[in-house]
Amino acid sequence: MTSAQRLALLGGEPVLERQLTRFNTYDNSEVEAAKEVVESGLLSGFMGSNGPAFYGGPRVKEFEKEWAKIFGVKNAITINSWSSGLTAALGAVGLEPGDEVITSTWTMCATATAILQWNGIPVFADIDPDTYCICPDSIRANITEHTRAIVTVDIFGQSSNMTEISKIAAEHNLKVICDTAQAPMSTHNGIYSGTLGDIGGYSLNYHKHIHTGEGGVIVTNDDDLAERVRLIRNHAEAVVGGMKRDDLRNMIGANYRLGEIESAIGLVQLRKLKGIIMQRQHAARILHDGLRDLEGLELPKLGIGNTSVYYMFPIRIDVSELRVKRKTICDALRAEGLGGIQEGYANIHLLPMYQQKIGYGSAGFPWKSDICKREVDYRKGICPTAERYHEETYIGFACCLYRLSDSDCQAVIDVFRKVWRSMPSLRGEI
């Protein structure tokens, strides 16, 4: 066996002696857009008082208008982060203290933290074994008389099963909030993900398909929900009286406003989005074709009616077939020079906050208070698919980090194929 054939983990030469091309779609157009804003002297057009400036400056308004047009919705509302967007969306739908909201455990922690911001109670559902999105059957199993809403998570670039989830929501009179941070312009039955619930939204932070550094966009076809989001975004309590609104639920505002520089950059980025997604889908096809014959490797699958924009290239291994631990395989992939390899993803129901049920203060609020109507179960074992994948079988390739030219894709394939050819050496058989 030559040095090139031997695994780098075992002293051989790595396949990749260069870094993959980092994902960066910025060029002089973003620079010029930001420069124009700086030269204008108006870096934020917002005022926390009644009047036209309550809704932001010219770039904010133009960005929102363009986003709404492209995504085919009545309202698009910019926000300073998607974490803020989730909080604003849950407040807008009228969440009451103690209301239960079902969401996925396989997501970034902010999805559930936004529920707690309104003193709601997160309830965690398991994931679909193929798409990693929230499982409709698990949603059904977790509905109680206290359930108020569902937060779907369109993970890794494709939609949750909104056909089934919409049926469940209609049966139980539940609001649906779509966390589509990772999946802009993916579709479910030909409709853009994020637009299929009562309210949804997208992230614009640095490793997403398009980004403004930090930021997000909320979308809804419900004009009242849109206005409630705008109020929460910009000091609702100070202005709601002058707007003569009777419904004061959750009119506790904040400064969740996006600036003019970010919005100007967002406009430039938005015009690049289709091209970025086409390139990412092209790369995913190359990876899929180059890896599909590897034994014990489960490649990404699409849900019925779905397209994916491949924020991640999610895979699983059959540990019993390969007879090698996931950590050893990941170490071997990394040693060959491949970055962006993740072992497991998330089981947020197992975070200390939920295991100890300590949120606000030290006395266990909201769980150990009168607003929590029952003992909510966060024990290990409630989400068996997500837990097994996280602990044993899931490997993510973070394609969001890379530009992935055809040659980059081939290098990724070469790394995987070398490691798979060398499985006997990882088992200690040779």
Mean pLDDT within 156-182: 98
- The pLDDT of residue 425 is above 60: yes
The 10s digit of each residue's pLDDT in 350-360 is: 999 999 999 99
**Mean of the per-residue pLDDT values for the chain?**
96
Mean pLDDT within 287-305: 98
- The pLDDT of residue 229 is above 90: yes
The 10s digit of each residue's pLDDT in 195-225 is: 999 999 999 998 999 999 999 999 999 999 9
Angstrom distance (rounded) from CA 60 to CA 38 = 14
Name the pLDDT band for 2 (thresholds 50, 70, 90): confident
CATH of 28-272, one of 3.40.640.10, 3.40.50.920, 3.60.10.10, 1.10.1040.10: 3.40.640.10
Let me know: does 356 contact 349? Beta carbons within 8 Å.
no
- The pLDDT of residue 35 is above 70: yes
Name the pLDDT band for 242 (thresholds 50, 70, 90): confident
Q: Which amino acid is at 266?
A: G
Give the residue, 321 or 245, on which the prediction is more confident. Answer: 321
pLDDT of residue 18: 86
Name the pLDDT band for 244 (thresholds 50, 70, 90): confident
Give the residue, 249 or 428, on which the prediction is more confident. Answer: 249
At 92, list the tokens. 């807008």
The 10s digit of each residue's pLDDT in 93-103 is: 999 999 999 99
**Domain map of the chain by residue range?**
28-272
The total number of residues written for the chain in this structure: 430
Q: What is the 3-state secondary structure (H, E, C) of the chain?
A: CCCCCCCHHHCCCCCCCCCCCECCCCCHHHHHHHHHHHHHCCCCCCCCCCCHHHHCCHHHHHHHHHHHHHHCCCEEEEECCHHHHHHHHHHHCCCCCCCEEEEECCCCCHHHHHHHHCCCEEEEECECCCCCCECHHHHHHHCCCCEEEEEEECHHHECCCHHHHHHHHHHHCCEEEEECCCCCCCEECCEECCCCCCEEEEECECCCCCCCECCEEEEECCHHHHHHHHHHHECHHHHCCCCCCCCCCCCCCCECCCCHHHHHHHHHHHCCHHHHHHHHHHHHHHHHHHHCCCCCEECCCCCCCECECCCCEEEEECHHHHCCCHHHHHHHHHHCCCCCEEECCCCHHHCHHHHHCCCECCCCECCCCCCCCCCCCCCCCCCHHHHHHHHHHEEEECHHHECCCHHHHHHHHHHHHHHHHCHHHHCCCC
Let me know: does 299 contact 286? Beta carbons within 8 Å.
no
Mean pLDDT within 370-379: 97
Name the pLDDT band for 246 (thresholds 50, 70, 90): confident
pLDDT of residue 3: 72
> What percent of the chain shows pLDDT beyond 70?
99
Question: CA end-to-end span of the chain, whole Å?
Answer: 11
- The pLDDT of residue 430 is above 80: no
Q: Please, what is the Cα angle at 355 between 253 and 108, to 5 degrees? A: 50
The 10s digit of each residue's pLDDT in 45-82 is: 999 999 999 999 999 999 999 999 999 999 999 999 99
pTM higher than the cut 0.85: yes
pLDDT of residue 1: 66
Let me know: does 113 contact 371? Beta carbons within 8 Å.
no
Mean pLDDT within 186-199: 98
Name the pLDDT band for 291 (thresholds 50, 70, 90): very high
